[in-house]
Amino acid sequence: MTVTKRLLTNARLATLTESGAPYGLIDEGALVIESGRISWIGEAANLPSHYSRCTPEDLGGRLVTPGLIDCHTHVVFGGDRAREFEMRLEGATYEEVARAGGGIVSTVRATRAASEDELLVSSLTRVDALIAEGVTTLEIKSGYGLDRDTELRMLRTARRIAKERPVTVRTSFLGAHAIPAEYKDRADAYLDEVCLPTLKAAHAEGLVDAVDGFCEGIAFSPEQIRSVFETAKDLGLPVKLHAEQLSNLGGTALAASYGALSADHLEYLDEAGVTAMAASGSVAVLLPGAFYTLRETRMPPMDLLRKHRVPIALATDCNPGSSPLASLLLTMNMGCTLFRMTPEEALAGVTRVAAKALGLEDRGTLEAGKRADLAVWNISHPAELSYRIGFNALKKRIFGGSE
Ligand code: DI6
Ligand code: FE
């Protein structure tokens, strides 16, 4: 349904704006949408009289939030890693599986073997699960190709998803995700011969919105990541980084020195890294699905992140290995239960702060001028979104003013 002007009434609006009430709540609210954007929002009693000519859509007192934003996913990939799940339950660690030729590299084999159409079909099953829970924007990374053709194919698939479904997709080039088998022990040569030229080619094709990397003992060192970030800088692309997930290599501080949009995972982050993020304005993207799946016991430094006022986002990290999770609502529950986030922090983390992690200023809150990406829920209190497990209360989703 495409209607140019809509008036939604009898709504409980969780605006997620930073001033005022918890969750930015407005009771007995009304919201006007014009040309895909919110043109007026507030208490229904204050609705300017010229809007009363619109036919109101009565939401029956339901809760309305900004459309949810999953700011870190790897939804495009081939194959699955169910066997690896078994191996880890038999006692192997994530790093041992990776060193034994499993892990990311096994998904690389399956992704290289998949056509663009096959990647599209399998990715859409995961994207549809996210959409069914109110997601209107998601980030998608490459990084399971690790050769030119497959990296480009993954990014083209990500762009096609945005044509196939009413969602906004932001892409991140993650060529520095793992060292492919053919470059074993030659990471620098992989970066010079494959990763950096592919980044330039992908950028030339308009396929890249940001550049990401995996800074870890089993992946790339801070110095190697620096070469990727230098290329990103030359191309005018923002950066982000998988950092401090399994150990502390100082990747976060490096990312912050490049003004990173975000640093992601962060279980092993120390205070120096936190203050670097605070200075650069980078978002901490926490990924409790990976923490849970890997049975990690070290928590991200929640108190330090709060103390230094680093904005905290939450995302699924949907991927076949460390986080086979396609539910942003469960992610919110995990953020609260595993990381002791408040339900308000969790909701901000998948709306306002997630938008910031993607560099998107036109969404993430309900305010006049923002995109009309909304989720309407069959609940009245926003804490219910984080509190329930395996319960999807979505009534409907409005994307750019349409449903
Ligand atoms: N960290 C992660 O959690 C994912 N990638 C990364 O750099 C895991 C990817 C995988 O195991 O396939
Ligand atoms: Fe990831």
Interval between CA 241 and ligand 1 midpoint (Å): 12
pLDDT of residue 96: 85
Nearest-CA residue for atom 11 of ligand 1: 321
Helix or strand (DSSP H, E) at 395: strand 394-398
Pocket of ligand 1 contains residue 273 by CB under 6 Å? no
Residue written as token pair 């494959």: 194
Q: For 165-300, where are the alpha helices, taking DSSP H only?
A: 187-190, 196-204, 222-235, 251-257, 271-280, 288-293
- Tell whether pTM > 0.75: yes
Report the C-alpha dihedral over residues 199, 201, 204, 210, rounded to 10 degrees.
-20
Tell me if 142 sits within 8 A of 76, measured CB to CB. yes
In the chain the first and final C-alpha atoms are separated, in Å, by 6
How many other C-beta atoms can be found within 10 angstroms of the C-beta atom of residue 206? 10
Return the ligand number nearest the Cα of 294: 1
Return the ligand number nearest the Cα of 72: 2
Q: Residues of the chain whose pLDDT is less than 50? A: 1-2
Residue of 81, 105, 106, 214 to test ligand 1 pocket, by largest number of atoms within 8 Å of CB: 214
Question: pLDDT (tens digit, 9 = 90+) per residue, 159-211?
Answer: 999 999 999 999 999 999 999 999 999 999 999 999 999 999 999 999 999 99
Bridge partners, residue 168, by sequence: 137
Interval between CA 104 and ligand 1 midpoint (Å): 7
> For residues 324 and 289, what is the distance between their CA atoms, to the nearest angstrom?
8
Strands (E), 103-243: 135-141, 168-176, 210-213, 240-243
What tokens does 93 get? 């660690």
Interval between CA 25 and ligand 2 midpoint (Å): 32
Residue written as token pair 């800088």: 233
pLDDT of residue 95: 81
Q: What are phi and psi of 137, to 5 degrees?
A: -140, 135
Nearest-CA residue for atom 10 of ligand 1: 321
Provide the pairing of β-strand 168-176 with 37-43: unpaired
DSSP assignment of 11-58, as one string? EEEE---SSSSGGGEEEEEEEEEETTEEEEEEEGGG--GGGGGSPEEE
